[in-house]
Amino acid sequence: MEVSQASHQIIADLLAARTGQHLTESRRWRIGSALACVFREHGISNVDQLVCMLAQPESPAQDRKLSDEVVEALLNNETYFFRDKPTFDQLPEDVLPELARRRGHSRRLSIWCAGCSTGQEVYSLAMIFAEQSERWDGWSIDILGTDVSHGAIEAARGGLYSQFEVQRGLGVAQMLKHFDETGRGWQIREKTRSFARFRQHNVLDEPPTRQTFDLILCRNVLLYFAQTTRQQAFSRLRHALADDGFLMLGAGETVVGQTRDFAPSDGRASLYGPVLATLPARVAGSRR
């Protein structure tokens, strides 16, 4: 579907205003297919007609509903269990044992999955803790998954996945151990689910809790931000991370040349540590 420059710009501005994501020219081809569900719901034939409807002086509730649907449709919710497995395997083999050593006195771990989409990343972490129950006996484990998409968060809370979704990244043994097959799909079991909680949140906003996190996963999120917006996101992530915590980015992302808030963690792919000097002394001194 052909999208005019003017319509592309209006849609791009809407997405940026609501989420911070940058809809580049190279992604213009995706607009028509992404919005197909919105077209069907409202009897719209093309993007130009949609833009006209967005500009009409309808009631605030109607305006918000349509624009919400457009933003939700444009968000990329691509995810799967144990995504980028060689990178993800560093968590149970290296990062989590190191954090266990550092947090042995408190026996508490707080993890934030920013841009968690429909929850597969959060539940992948939950499976690790469930399968290492003896190691983590007596610990308080909290995994918070957030996403700017209301629909994605509702799906994550439901913990119900199709056959195709559970087969992406999971072996048969893991499926049977952590899920129950139902008439509607594969439902994550309560024991695994108990480690996780979800809420709608934009990584560009203030951190979702006042407590700092020991580990933050923000994978394949910053790819969609412009440079200045990406720097803002790094600043938010830095203020949310404990001074001795870890940040994990996607395989195609880096902090190098992007921010002074983080530096690569030696020998760990896609993992970074905070640069303490970037925080004012009174803040750095107050963080664990």
- pLDDT at residue 64 in the model: 76
The Cα 4–Cα 2 span in angstroms is: 7
Q: Provide the H-helix boundaries in the chain.
A: 5-19, 30-34, 36-42, 47-55, 60-74, 85-88, 90, 96-102, 120-131, 150-158, 163-167, 172-178, 190-193, 227-240, 281-284
How far from 122 is each of 211, 229, 246, CA to CA, in Å? 19, 25, 16
- pLDDT at residue 276 in the model: 80
Which residue in 43, 50, 38, 41 sits closest to 3, CA to CA?
50
- pLDDT at residue 51 in the model: 87
The Cα 245–Cα 94 span in angstroms is: 13
Q: Which residue has the higher pLDDT, 284 or 16?
A: 16
Digit-coded pLDDT (tens) for 180-212: 999 999 999 999 999 999 999 999 999 999 999
Give the whole-number percent of the chain exceeding pLDDT 90: 72
- pLDDT at residue 284 in the model: 41
In the predicted structure, residue 282 carries a pLDDT above the cut 80:
no
What sign for the dihedral angle of Cα 157, 163, 164, 168?
positive
Length of the chain: 288
Kindly report the number of other CB atoms within 10 A of residue 208's CB atom: 19
Single pTM value for the model: 0.89
In the predicted structure, residue 31 carries a pLDDT above the cut 90:
no
- pLDDT at residue 46 in the model: 85
In the predicted structure, residue 285 carries a pLDDT above the cut 50:
no
- pLDDT at residue 207 in the model: 95
How far from 276 is each of 220, 245, 281, CA to CA, in Å? 25, 11, 9
DSSP per-residue codes, 66-89: HHHHHHHHHS-----TT-SHHHHT
Q: Where are the domains of the chain?
A: 5-74, 85-284
Digit-coded pLDDT (tens) for 105-144: 999 999 999 999 999 999 999 999 999 999 999 999 999 9
The Cα 12–Cα 71 span in angstroms is: 10
Average pLDDT over residues 214-233: 95
In the predicted structure, residue 57 carries a pLDDT above the cut 80:
no
CATH architecture group of domain 85-284: 3-Layer(aba) Sandwich (3.40)
Which residue in 89, 156, 161, 157 sits closest to 128, CA to CA?
89
- pLDDT at residue 1 in the model: 57
According to DSSP, residue 92 is labeled I
- pLDDT at residue 24 in the model: 75
Mean of the per-residue pLDDT values for the chain? 90
For 173, phi then psi, to 5°, come to -60, -40
- pLDDT at residue 268 in the model: 94
- pLDDT at residue 62 in the model: 55
Q: Which residue has the higher pLDDT, 65 or 107?
A: 107
